[in-house]
Structure 1
Amino acid sequence: MILVLLGSLLSFNYHSGQCRLLHKLDSFKKHRMESNVVDLDGTNECNNISKRIKIILVGNSNVGKSSLLKSFTKGSDENEPVSTIGTDLKLYEMRLNGELIKLYIWDTAGTERFKNHMSPSYFRHAQGALVVYDVGCQKSFEELNTWVKMIEQYSGSRLVKVIIGNKNDLPARAISIQKAEEYAKSINCVYLETSAKTGLHVRQAFVTLVHLIIEKNSNQLSVKENNVVLREKPTKHKAQCCHH
Structure 2
Amino acid sequence: MSSDFEEMGLKIILIGNSLVGKSCLLHQFCDQEFDSEIGTTIGVDFRFSSIKVDEKDVKLQVWDTAGQERFRTITSTYYRSADGILLIYSITSKDSFQQISHWFNEIKKNAPKTVATVLLANKKDLVSDRNVPTEEGQKLADELGLPFLEVSAKTGENVHEAFQKLARLATQENKQKENEIITLEKKTVKKKKCCN
TM-score (norm 1): 0.66
- Out of 144, 149, 152, the residue aligned to residue 192 of structure 1 is 149
User: Identity over aligned residues, as a percent?
Assistant: 30
Measure the CA separation in 1 of the matches of 2:185 and 2:133. 47
Give the equivalent residue in structure 2 for 1:162.
118
Give the equivalent residue in structure 2 for 1:55.
12
CA root-mean-square deviation? 2.6
**119-128 or 157-166, larger mean C-alpha shift:** 119-128
Give 2:117's aligned amino acid.
Answer: K
Give the equivalent residue in structure 2 for 1:41.
none
Which structure 2 residues correspond to residues 55-204 of structure 1 after superposition, within 5 A? 55-74=12-31, 86-108=43-65, 110=66, 112-172=68-128, 173-204=130-161
Measure the CA separation in 2 of the matches of 1:158 and 1:148. 14
Alpha carbons of 1:85 and 1:116: their partners in 2 closer, same or farther (altered >3 Å)?
Answer: closer
- Between the two structures, name the one with larger relative contact order (CA 8 Å, sep ≥ 6): 2
Q: Runs in 1 of length 4+ with deviation above 6 angstroms? A: none
Deviation (angstroms), 1:111: 5.1
Give 1:128's aligned amino acid.
Answer: G
Contact 1:50 1:99 in 2 (8 A): no
Any idea what the Cα deviations from partners look like across 1:130-159, whole Å, max 9, x if unmatched? 000001211100000111111221114321
Any idea what the Cα deviations from partners look like across 1:182-228, whole Å, max 9, x if unmatched? 11111111000000111100000001100000111222333444556
Contact 1:54 1:103 in 2 (8 A): yes
Contact 2:15 2:67 in 1 (8 A): no
Give 1:74's aligned amino acid.
Answer: D
Measure the CA separation in 2 of the matches of 1:61 and 1:196. 15
Q: Which runs of 5+ in 2 are unaligned?
A: 34-40
Give the equivalent residue in structure 2 for 1:208.
165
Measure the CA separation in 2 of the matches of 1:133 and 1:119. 17
Measure the CA separation in 2 of the matches of 1:85 and 1:170. 25
**Number of residue pairs aligned between Structure 1 and Structure 2:** 180
Deviation (angstroms), 1:117: 3.1
Measure the CA separation in 1 of the matches of 2:73 and 2:187. 45
TM-score (norm 2): 0.80
Give the equivalent residue in structure 2 for 1:44.
none
Report SS of the residue matched to 2:12. strand
